[in-house]
Structure 1
Amino acid sequence: MNKKLNQIIGVILILMTVFSLIGCGSSNTADNNESKEQTVLEKIQEKGVIVVGTSPDYPPFETIDEKGNIVGFDIDLANEIAAKLGVDLELKQMSFETIVTAVQSGQVDVGISGFSVTEERKENVDMSEPYLVGGQVVVTTTDSGIESVEDLNGEKVTAGMGSTCEQAANKIEGAEVVSLDDFNMGFIMVKNGTAKAVVADVSVAKDYVANDSSYTIIGEPLSYEETAVITKKGNDDLTKAINEAINEIKESGKIDEFKKAWGVE
């Protein structure tokens, strides 16, 4: 009887050991799987596509050509960044003020749409190394009677909603700022007299003036700013890869070719 009992106990002990080892093996497998979780950059490269949010109402940075294609300085830059990452580019058109939210939610991988580097913006998203340096200026028409920024006291001034143009416009003493989700509409309002001026990036302003002699730039730039790519906070691998791509594009002289092609300073 005792012998049989001892045999039973021995079998039980062996089974307990086996189950214990199986349990440890499962735990190790789970840990290994967890440690192999893909980074954002790896997911993009595996998919073979980087999705970029942009608002094509800001020529020469991003606009829609006569064939309905989104083109511009930023688009050429985005294509070059995608090539450096070894993936294709997919553009998602959206209003400027929604791009940050789209990046935060993962609806798009990055935002490239003339984003100026600001402390407020850096609280919500990460920003790449700057790829451009510029500023904001005031544009009016040659027959508007506006000769200086001071003349805009009490007048309507338009700017893109959620942009640094809007911030600069709000600093014009006494101006009534009209914020628009379509930046081009600001120039139309100035042209038809429903607004006296529009605040725009210097390259955008010069593009409009070059294509329509009824527009003119007045005064000195209202601000100095740097332009960068925005990424979701915590996507450090992607931001690092974009920084490396931007530096390579600068060093190769490619970015100067884009500037010359689009009249960007």
Structure 2
Amino acid sequence: MNRLSKAICIFLVTILLFSLTACSAGERHGRFRILKSYETKQLAIGFRNDDIVRYYVMAALQASAADGTVHNNALHWFGHDPVSIPADKEAMAKIKTVPKRTLIVGVDIDAFPMAYKERDQFRGFDVDLARDVCYRLGWKIEFIPIKAENAYVELSSGNIDVAWGGLALDIGSKQYTTVFPYMEQGLVLVVRDDNRFRSVRKLKGATLAMDSGQYFLDIINADEDLRDRLGAIQRMQGGARACFQSLDTAKVDCILVYKSALWHFAK
């Protein structure tokens, strides 16, 4: 390959990489725009290692995926279907007699729209799926708020039977068993598409709203470039819903939220 050809190849690769980066940074979702994406984690469902309840839950979930229930719930909550659960219409027929029980489900109520509380009622995508699973199995259901980092303690103590609800669990953990890593979840820095902020560099003096959780603060503290540009940070008690309300009413300039929440409000 001569020098001219090499130069052309390098130029084209550079243009391609720039285009991909620009697309990622300026990705539009309805009336919103992503300025920056942070680490992505897998949402999964966790059980005690020796608990056979997972086989019943897995069978019911596979049947739910096969008849379109999972897909329809995804469309309702996200406007599209980013969920990956293997479908098997014969799954329920493969399990033996299902014993009667109450399934205690640990959910992260700060992970809107995967799981949250509204007027003392548990709601969300994962909550709907868990209810559907229990309906198919003839079980009662109870929800308890937990955090992903406490999944092992909650499971091993018997406080919950399954950790499931906006939880980025440790897929490789030997302390508990995870099944069906079903969806990617990550934080995104979001602005309204009609405002003047088109890049992180233009956020000088801007006001950011985010959830009050420690994970959100850790992300901001690790991003010195963004942190040093911001004029103020508001830690919202109402989570993603409060953040989007503040962004919609121009009380803040940008928000840090889970991408699933962006999908929900942009649909």
TM-score range, shorter chain: 0.3 to 0.5
TM-score (norm 2): 0.46
Tell me which protein shows more helix as a share of its residues. Answer: 1
TM-score (norm 1): 0.46
